[in-house]
């Protein structure tokens, strides 16, 4: 199966402050969907995401089908490429599955708005219709 490669990323939402728009523009299309890629096979990528209170996982783009599970619970805010700003309270064990058709994607950030570490596990599936995004060495766990 030929994988769809996405080459054009959208502009940042016009209503956002300039600093946020600049971060979005610089990071759209980046594949670091967690703070550490802990495992990768020909079928999956397994990520951890740990954010201290006030910390942010900067903008990143999802192109692969995936699910996340929140291990700790907590409060967060995300800015989405479609202009939405969403505040969420997560419960420990809460899980969500997302999927993308050829050419579809989602770009967002995640900020810990709570008072304790916010910890997730995310699993991406490499067998979908979109080619995976590159992952830089600095977010890969030491082999």
pLDDT digits (tens, 9 = 90+) for 47-80: 999 999 999 999 999 999 999 999 999 999 999 9
118-125, strands of its sheet edge to edge: 36-40, 44-51, 118-125, 66-70, 95-98
User: How would residue 2 be classed by pLDDT, with cut points 50, 70 and 90?
Assistant: confident
| Separation in Å, CA 74 to CA 5, 35, 94 | 35, 17, 11
Paired residues of 62 in beta bridges: 106
| DSSP state, residue 80 | B
pLDDT for position 6: 84
Paired residues of 52 in beta bridges: none
pLDDT for position 127: 95
Q: What percent of the chain clears pLDDT 90, i.e. is strictly above it?
A: 95
Q: Which domains does the chain have, with CATH numbers?
A: 18-128 (2.60.120.10)
* Cβ neighbours for 142, distance < 8 A, ≥ 6 positions apart: none
Predicted TM-score (pTM) of the model is 0.95
Per residue in 31-49, pLDDT tens?
A: 999 999 999 999 999 999 9
């Amino acid at each position: 199966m030929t994988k769809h490669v996405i080459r054009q990323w959208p502009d940042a939402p016009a209503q956002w402050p300039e600093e946020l728009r600049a971060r979005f523009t610089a990071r759209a299309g980046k594949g670091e969907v967690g703070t550490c890629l802990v495992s990768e096979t020909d079928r999956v990528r397994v990520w951890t995401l740990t954010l201290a209170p006030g910390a942010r996982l900067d903008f990143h783009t999802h192109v692969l089908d995936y699910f996340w599970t929140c291990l700790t619970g907590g409060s967060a805010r995300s800015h989405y490429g479609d202009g939405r700003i969403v505040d969420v309270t997560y419960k420990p064990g809460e899980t969500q599955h997302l999927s993308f058709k050829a050419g579809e994607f989602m770009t967002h950030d995640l900020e810990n708005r709570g008072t304790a570490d916010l910890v997730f596990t995310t699993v991406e599936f490499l067998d979908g219709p979109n080619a995976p995004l590159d992952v830089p060495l600095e977010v890969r766990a030491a082999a």
